[in-house]
Structure 1
Amino acid sequence: MTKAIRSPALVVRAFNVEISRIQDQTSDPQTAAFRLQFWQDILKKIFVKEQVFQNIPANPIAQELFKVSSAYSLSKRHLEKLITSRRDLLQTKLFRNLEDIEKYADDSVSSIYYLLLSVANIANVHADHAASHLGKAQGLANILRSVHVANHHKTVFLPMDILMKNKVSQEMVLRGVNTDDMKNVAFEVASRANSHLEKARNISVPKLANQIFLPAIAVDSYLKKLQKNDFNVFDKQLQQTNALLPFSLYFKRVLNKY
């Protein structure tokens, strides 16, 4: 990213990482809820009018977020969505359909892009529209990428209606059973993700927004790799690092595309 927005963008993403990894740090829903509430309380303190730095808890992310929110007028609503979306998922522990995942992705992923657009001082309806589609594409891809660790969390986040339609049980997913029916499930989710990705890329956005939307390259790379592996989400090749991704990102950055 351009140096001017690199640091505040890092703070926004650091805050999101801190929130998103809470469910990985504890298996106790109540403990996770307490930690999410801790960050909810910090946001309230950050956005108190005429708040001073000394009143912010001695947490590096909280303190940096206070500085960035003051300097760039970050949206409290989008920051709160990063918390509430995770809290809601802890309570439901499943997605009924693709629309549920899209709603979750819009709150937990698109919100990050809205915040980064705000940091870059981009107030553009087309950029917001692209951010919404890209967030949904990334969120759906993340659901597919998380399947191989479902057994670790004892939780399946694939949409229940598609699993039922293809007669795939949660137990089969947890055991990593790859069948044609399981491939059909992955195909449906991946197709919706690819549709959102194409819609995002077809929207003309301000030049600086192209840098913010560069994660689209990683989403596209995963979806193509999944297709190449016949939609077998359990294939170990999908878990390997893409050594060419940094070069792809740099190339697209030079071309100012995503």
Structure 2
Amino acid sequence: MAIALSSIVSHNILSKAWLKRSVEARISDANQEGISKIEELERYSEDTVFTLLYLTLQAGGIKSSVADHVASHIGKANGLLLLLKSIPYHASRGGVVHVPFEVASKHGLLLERGRLKPEPSEELSNAVLEIASVASAHLNKAQELISGVPKEAAPVLLHGVAVQVLLDSLERVRFNVFDPRLNRGILGVSPLWFQLKLKWYAWRGKY
């Protein structure tokens, strides 16, 4: 894979700077002891998920500031929700969870150096709801810009469908990330339903 990426970068198909940005963000995240503000989560989501969407647009030769803007919002939303979904995994292994200290403090959630007990609580659900609301706002902004998105960019932006599915699944379990229903199928829904939803949005040219 490294050789393939090197070849792609050397032929100027993908930007080395954007690839580097994504890798460095993940390395930095692995070395930190907790997150202070929700803006840091948004920045991490942009540096990881959005960069991949941007590189996909770039690889397809799609040059559109509107598509880039939409990808930024979808990337942030997707990244935030995936970080929420990963909380049980990290908590059960004594790892740092992606709940900002300011959000945890606001809802009375006890974090010790970015770590929490691997169990559901009302405080955690309220914190998850707040972060999920930020993700929802990003998705709404992305959808508001749909009229200016080039047709060829729409398939890349179908990640927005996954964002909506996960938001719906979180709402269904009352934002309890420890609810086992979130791990069923794809993002809490049956694979068939997810595929049908993707095809429906793709057919309509939406995300």
Pair in the same fold by TM > 0.5: yes
Q: Is the 8 A contact 1:147 1:173 kept in 2?
A: no
5+ residue gaps, structure 2: none
- 1:70 Cα deviation after fit: 4.3
Q: Is structure 2 residue 4 aligned with structure 1 residue 64?
A: yes
The C-alpha deviation readout for 1:172-218, integer Å capped at 9, x for no partner, is: 97433323222210110000000001111111311111100112111
Aligned positions of 1:40-119 closer than 5 A: 61-71=1-11, 73-119=13-59
Partner of 2:31: helix, strand, or coil? helix
Report the counterpart of residue 211 of structure 1 in structure 2. Answer: 155
Q: How many angstroms does 1:71 deviate by? A: 4.7
Q: Does 1:228 align with 2:180?
A: no
Output the amino acid matched with 2:59. V
**CA deviation vs aligned residue, 1:43-74 (integer Å, no higher than 9, x gap):** xxxxxxxxxxxxxxxxxx12222333345531
Pairing of 1:95-174 with structure 2 (within 5 A)? 95-150=35-90, 151-170=92-111, 174=116
Percent of matched pairs sharing the same residue: 31
Question: Greater helix share, 1 or 2?
Answer: 1
Letter in 1 for 2:21: K
My pick for the range that moved more, 64-73 or 194-203, is 64-73
RMSD between superposed Cα atoms in Å: 1.8
Query: Aligned partner of 1:182: which letter?
Result: L
Give the TM-score of the pair, scaled to structure 1: 0.72
State how far apart, in whole Å, the 1-side matches of 2:60 and 2:94 are: 37
Cα distance in 2 between the residues matched to 1:93 and 1:77? 26
State the shift of 1:251 in Å. Answer: 1.8
Matched, 1:180 2:122: yes
Displacement of 1:140 after TM fit?
A: 0.5
Are the equivalent residues in 2 in contact too, given 1:133–1:197 (CA < 8 A)? yes
Unpaired runs of at least 5, structure 1: 1-60
Is 1:193 the counterpart of 2:135 in the alignment?
yes
Give distance in 2, aligned partners of 1:173 and 1:93: 9
Aligned to 1:215, the other structure's residue is in SS state: helix
Q: Is the 8 A contact 2:94 2:115 kept in 1?
A: no
User: Greater RCO between the two (CA within 8 Å, min separation 6)?
Assistant: 2
| Closer, same or farther: CA 216–153 of 1 in aligned 2, 3 Å | farther
The TM-score with structure 2 as length reference comes to: 0.89
Which has the higher Rg, Structure 1 or Structure 2? 1
